[in-house]
Amino acid sequence: EHDSTVSIIVVGASGDLAKKKIFPALFALYYEDCLPKHFTVFGYARSKMTDAELRDMVSRTLTCRIDKRENCSEKMEQFLKRCFYHSGQYDSEKNFAELGTKLRDHEGGRVSNRLFYLSIPPNIFTEVVKCASNSASSANGWTRVIVEKPFGRDAESSAALTRDLKQYLVEDQIFRIDHYLGKELVENLSVLRFSNLIFEPLWSRQYIRNVQFIFSEDFGTEGRGGYFDNYGIIRDIMQNHLLQILALFAMETPVSLDAEDVRNEKVKVLRSMKPLQLENVVVGQYKSHTKGGVTYPAYTDDKTVPKGSLTPTFAAAALFINNARWDGVPFLMKAGKALHSKIAEIRVQFRHVPGNLFNRSFGTDLDRATNELVIRVQPDEGIYLKINNKVPGLAMRLDRSNLNLHYAARYSKEIPDAYERLLLDAIEGERRLFIRSDELDAAWALFTPVLKELEEKKVMPEFYPYGSRGPVGAHYLAARHNVQWGDIS
């Protein structure tokens, strides 16, 4: 270990993701002493830049958010000294070979490990992987490649991408990121569920009435329309982020927490699901809205979006798992941009207490008396459980109150960014939080038919005002399955 070195090559170093997430996460890991003793960071992109210019660019992305008191700027200087740049074309074996030579110089004869982070558009994934693996892979250590979605647009294109990558890499070298798996509360799901007696036995159709996975953002596509319009919200959020959370939520108990054991269970539950039906989907698109004298643009006002685009910026869906544990339980998803708030959460609505002595106290609305477990993924992380309680006083009056685990109040330590956890795992070869190719295939199998149908039938999205709660269709969809959205009621 001491005699090995890790080089992290950020391909597409001047892009948005690199600046916003990758460099800051690497610095945070360095700051926390989590990176190996010998490491270097290499930016690779087409534009000409010197090492000094790269450092300057990177330094503007770094913050001392972790521990403001101590020697942060000193640490920054040390980190930046280990950042370098190589300019090259994405399809040039020659340029990658030059990079390889530079890497070798830095490795100084130690065992060489190389982690390529592809922070580039998907149409050049294969070219880059080809050049990197032929001309810049490690001769005596490991070579790993991190890729980000989009992994294709549907089952076929995703399978084609996997086939292409596997001409140059084996499955174990491919680290497919879904950054939601790096989020603290998503990682906590298994702990909550499997280590608590008050939850573990309740986790089935016997006690759970429905589960809701909710994602909303209070801003639109803002300049990302070019990418977004080709994918839409179902591919951007549901097929990956929300479905991954669902898989962790609903999987059977894995044999262990080893990557293969966990991923085997995730694949199993995904393969037990029925492909999403058109009748179980509602799509929406935001339109412009004026509030307090400010006009918020419609999706199609975005210059990068084609006029008249029908691409959904909102979708709600009801999915079902065909197994003994979950038969008949609706798993609802809702995802949208330009809504009234920014939130990601899981809501678990439990069944009614049979023969509840107190039913009369709730009048006709029994749903108000059911327990609900809310796992707030972000922002303001927390877990709370709605329970019935007697309002203090002489009368027998009940209301629903929260047992509340509020992270900010309970834990003083700042929650690491998802990319920190995932980068560290990739460096350490821990694959549990990365998507295996059979998981990806199973995820696409669930959404591909309905995506094709929506496009072929040119299904009109329901328009909703920027900043609203989204189309009412989502409400009717839930109601058809006897569900009320927990974030609205």
Query: In whole angstroms, how close is the CB of 358 to ligand BG6 at the nearest point?
Result: 39
Q: Output the six-digit token pair for 347.
A: 């809501």
Output 44 or 180, the one with its CB closest to ligand BG6.
180
Q: What are phi and psi of 98, to 5 degrees?
A: -60, -45
Residue showing the smallest CB distance to ligand BG6 in the complex? 236
Query: In whole angstroms, how close is the CB of 198 to ligand BG6 at the nearest point?
Result: 29
Query: In whole angstroms, how close is the CB of 376 to ligand BG6 at the nearest point?
Result: 12
End-to-end CA distance of the chain: 55
379 preceded by cis ω (within 30°)?
yes
Q: Which residues, 205 to 234, sit near ligand BG6 by CB under 6 A? A: 217
Q: How many residues bind ligand BG6 (CB under 6 A)?
A: 4
Alpha-carbon distance 379 to 215, whole Å?
11
Query: In whole angstroms, how close is the CB of 253 to ligand BG6 at the nearest point?
Result: 28
Side-chain half-sphere CA neighbours of 221 within 13 A: 28
Q: Output the six-digit token pair for 325.
A: 């544990």
Query: In whole angstroms, how close is the CB of 189 to ligand BG6 at the nearest point?
Result: 16
Beta bridge partners of 85: 43
Output 20 or 37, the one with its CB closest to ligand BG6.
20
Output 236 or 439, the one with its CB closest to ligand BG6.
236
Alpha-carbon distance 35 to 33, whole Å?
6
Q: Which residues, 156 to 185, sit near ligand BG6 by CB under 6 A? A: 179
Output 84 or 215, the one with its CB closest to ligand BG6.
215
Output 120 or 369, the one with its CB closest to ligand BG6.
120
Query: In whole angstroms, how close is the CB of 344 to ligand BG6 at the nearest point?
Result: 6
345 belongs to the binding site for ligand BG6 (CB under 6 A):
no
Output 142 or 231, the one with its CB closest to ligand BG6.
231
Query: In whole angstroms, how close is the CB of 472 to ligand BG6 at the nearest point?
Result: 24
Q: How many CB atoms lie within 10 A of CB 316?
A: 27
- Contact track, ligand BG6, 65-104, x by CB under 6 A: ----------------------------------------
Q: Which one of residues 229, 236, 265, 345 is an interface residue with ligand BG6 (CB under 6 A)?
A: 236
Output 236 or 265, the one with its CB closest to ligand BG6.
236
Catalytic residues: 241
| Chain residues in the site for ligand BG6 (CB under 6 A) | 179, 217, 236, 344
